[in-house]
Structure 1
């Protein structure tokens, strides 16, 4: 997190039990309020596309979001990393038996995930051709990785076959990471979606001139891309070859009773539509066309009164739950502006004082940032 400003946004979810005809595959209907970007994890830069890439690709670690405080949890890793006492060496062991979704890039053969796929994915962040906005996640941290990027800038070609001193592949399931300095937070960094595993064969087959694979994501996650109409419709289908997992989290008694021991995922198909207009999204939700809905500020009064769900919505089976969602705000100053610019003591004091009322404004505004969903 690189911002100096942080505000807690109170987000809300609404769930409704609409009457749907029985379907062979349980389907979730979801709305994005903005058009998706690239499905290449290395190019991930927006929240909404991130929802999709995180369903298709997997990182070594994720989070137990029900735990309080929230805790790091293994995803494809077999366990949490073994960290040296000096915080400069991490030993990571991978779960065997995780496979990429079948794709022509693998020539009809099952393709098992190995730690080399993570090493390759992390190298991609440093390829000058790709110009990933996410290199900062590992920049200056891993021995030899920055030097490889500098070499690529000088030669015009990134050498993916070159070994990196800080990324020691012991065997297909074991990776030792050597850091440039003490860092006990690397495990959390490795849970970021841009550090998800990518198969080199997929990039070699489908990558463009920069090496970007925007529209043909192939991962190891619980879902795969079934259909994509750019800026309009996205369909995710269950990856039936995903390793067997059951729901086993703790913290919310109600959710735990509903989900404990059940197979992941419970929903076999996700149909996503892109709707830019607030009113269109609201109509889709209230008419039963959408199950999950991020209810933005201008629409909050339609769903809430005095901070509670409107009775007419509750009568239809809609439920409301709240989520604390941290948000980041950046402030930029025009240093040439005659009022707020300049470097005198008076101008510096003015800029320091100015955000104070804004902080209150942003906090009030964030309280109207809401989310809505309905259960299927």
Structure 2
């Protein structure tokens, strides 16, 4: 076995405690260590195996801790794992666990990880993220997800209480990067077996994170308090973390300005003004999420969208420059690929979207629709679904206007987040607004979404694309593979890629410790502290 450390921070962690929050010279801590953050929608689940959204992950990162965490720049640093060894063939990882406890005082063991990972891939759990374990290339994960092998066959085992061994089917360069994802967090078997689905309720939930669940009023707020049993509790300054759900972004901004929220997304178009008015609060940072209109090309989808010429025409006609410069105005970039431009090691290919002027793209869109037999004299009627948010509404209205001159009549359909995702998963839509945020800092986190058996709500399928993503798992150089995969997406157009996110927020300057250089925007309340006014 070869001793291997992911980062210098990991080496340092063996001799030093994890990042200890310390105010800078001259800073004075507030007596009231509370952090209030904005949630657009209700948290669907605080079960690590059943969460599917970014906001849920933000909460889970406080209640649970995996083998690894991320530092302020997104580098991997120790979580429950103090160290690990990688075998010479890069197929076996052996993790040594620190002395960590659950919030009920019982020790966190390697067996807790084994149970959690088996539970995530078990079809009976119905985890929508079971595929993530396949993406990690853990032995037998795919067969277990398909129901062809038992969860006990998963390539993970406890050598002893402090030693976890994971076996992969193939060398996976990004494997360590996956270990800060919520799907890989340990869960308490005894608690789940005692309470069943109610194990995530306040009073029942037992976690191993820096905070414990105090209350959860679905669609209203969720409150977490410092966990005295957390292994590094002495270095956690923040006492209470509260997520407050406000469906209207403008109302949320008003509540921020009233001092009720410490961080909130800036509504579309307001960043230039707020940056001038409050330069110490308004921020725009690269954020590895991509926004798209997904086409339903399944049997349940509209006939027009089964024609690639129609899909390409709709994509070409979207004036992305107007969307980012006139509507959003927050430092976002037009999307010509699904993979976010800031992802480590990604090279964007030259496509029509990237090289043509908007005038040329619109002309090409008209030609394609004419070839397909559509136009103002034979219009296409489609419904565009989006979840509740003023920004989504503004963009949907803009798209509607871009498409109307082409003879494409769009009906807008606004639904709540849970309804929206349920309909997408069941292919009950024509076109749907969606965004994907990176689960780890590598292009496959985006591209795997479009695999035939990936998340892929529109049910597009391409054999060459699937093969490329399979080949990428063992390739020494993935760059040409990912480039070709993006070229296929540009040719087949399973979705209209709209823009790449920036994290455009108002942040209370009294709150310190939030990351500004992590493109995944993974934040940990254990690293936060509030300054006195």
- So what's the TM-score if we normalise by structure 2? 0.51
Shift of 1:298: 4.8
1:98 to 76, 100, 112: 100
- Give the alignment of 1:279-358 within 5 angstroms: 279-300=250-271, 303-304=274-275, 309-310=276-277, 313=278, 318-330=280-292, 332-333=294-295, 341-342=306-307, 347=309, 351=312, 354-355=315-316
SS at 1:168 equivalent: strand
What CA distance in whole angstroms lies between the structure 2 residues aligned with 1:301 and 1:147?
51
Q: Would the aligned equivalents of 2:102 and 2:206 in 1 still touch at CA under 8 Å?
A: yes
Where 2:82 maps in the other structure, the secondary structure is coil
Q: Count how many residue pairs are aligned between Structure 1 and Structure 2.
A: 304
Write 1 or 2 for the structure with the bigger share of helix: 2
**Partner residue, 2:484:** none
Alignment partner, residue 45 of structure 1 = 52
Match of 1:111 among 106, 110, 115: 106
Q: Give, in angstroms, the shift of residue 214 of structure 1.
A: 6.1
CA contact (8 A) 2:121 2:130 kept: yes
Residue-by-residue CA offset, 1:281-316 (whole Å, 9 max, x unaligned): 111111122222222325435523xxxx31xx35xx
Q: Does 1:269 align with 2:240?
A: yes
Partner of 1:251: none
Measure the CA separation in 2 of the matches of 1:193 and 1:88.
Answer: 22
- Taking a change above 3 Å as real, the CA distance of residues 218 and 294 of structure 1, as seen in their structure-2 partners, is farther
For the pair 1:223 / 2:211, whether they are aligned, the reply is yes
Q: Does 1:239 pair with 2:227?
A: yes
Equivalent residue for 2:85, pick from 75, 82, 92: 82
Is contact 2:199–2:205 with CA below 8 Å preserved after alignment?
A: no
In 1, Cα distance between equivalents of 2:314 and 2:251: 40
Q: Distance in 1 between matches of 2:36 and 2:323?
A: 31
Instruction: Give the 3 Å change call, closer, same or farther, for CA 62–83 of structure 1 in structure 2.
Output: same
Distance in 2 of aligned mates of 1:288 and 1:294: 14
Quote the offset at 1:232 in angstroms. 0.8
CA distance in 2, matches of 1:214, 1:38: 10
Q: Distance in 1 between matches of 2:169 and 2:223?
A: 42
* 1:297/1:370 contact within 8 Å kept: no
1:352 Cα deviation after fit: 8.6
Contact 1:56-1:217 within 8 A present in 2 as well: no
Matches within 5 A, 1:250-269: 264-269=235-240
TM-superposed deviation, 1:134: 0.9
State the partner residue of 2:140.
144
Aligned residue for 1:190, secondary structure, equals helix
Q: Is the 8 A contact 1:40 1:214 kept in 2?
A: no
Distance, in Å, in 2 between the alignment partners of 1:212 and 1:39 is 10
C-alpha displacement of 1:172:
0.7
Report the CA distance shift for 1:203/1:296 in structure 2 as closer, same or farther (over 3 A). farther
Three-state SS of the structure 2 residue aligned to 1:41 is coil
Q: The residue matched to 2:121 in structure 1 has which SS?
A: coil
Match of 1:180 among 136, 152, 169: 169
Counterpart for residue 278 of structure 1: 249
TM-score (norm 1): 0.71
Distance change in 2, residues 1:358/1:58 (3 Å): farther
Equivalent residue for 1:373? 507
- In the TM superposition, what is the alpha-carbon distance from 1:240 to its structure 2 partner? 1.5
Instruction: Report the alpha carbon displacement of residue 203 of structure 1 after superposing the two structures with TM.
Output: 0.8
Residue in structure 1 matching 2:128, options 133, 138, 152: 133
RMSD: 3.1
SS of 1:288's partner is coil
Gaps of 5+ in 1: 1-21, 103-109, 246-262
> d(CA) in 1 for partners of 2:215 and 2:255?
21
Q: How far 1:332 moved relative to its partner?
A: 3.5
Contact 2:144 2:154 in 1 (8 A): no
1:57-68 alignment, distance < 5 Å: 57-66=64-73
Deviation string 1:41-94 (CA, Å, 9 cap, x unpaired) is: 11111111221111001110112223xxx4211111002x32223221111111
Contact 1:282 1:299 in 2 (8 A): no
Secondary structure of 1:118's aligned partner: helix
- 5+ residue gaps, structure 2: 1-28, 333-502, 511-529
The change in CA–CA distance for 1:354 and 1:227 in structure 2 (over 3 A counts) is closer
How far residue 229 of structure 1 moved from its aligned partner, in angstroms, is: 1.5
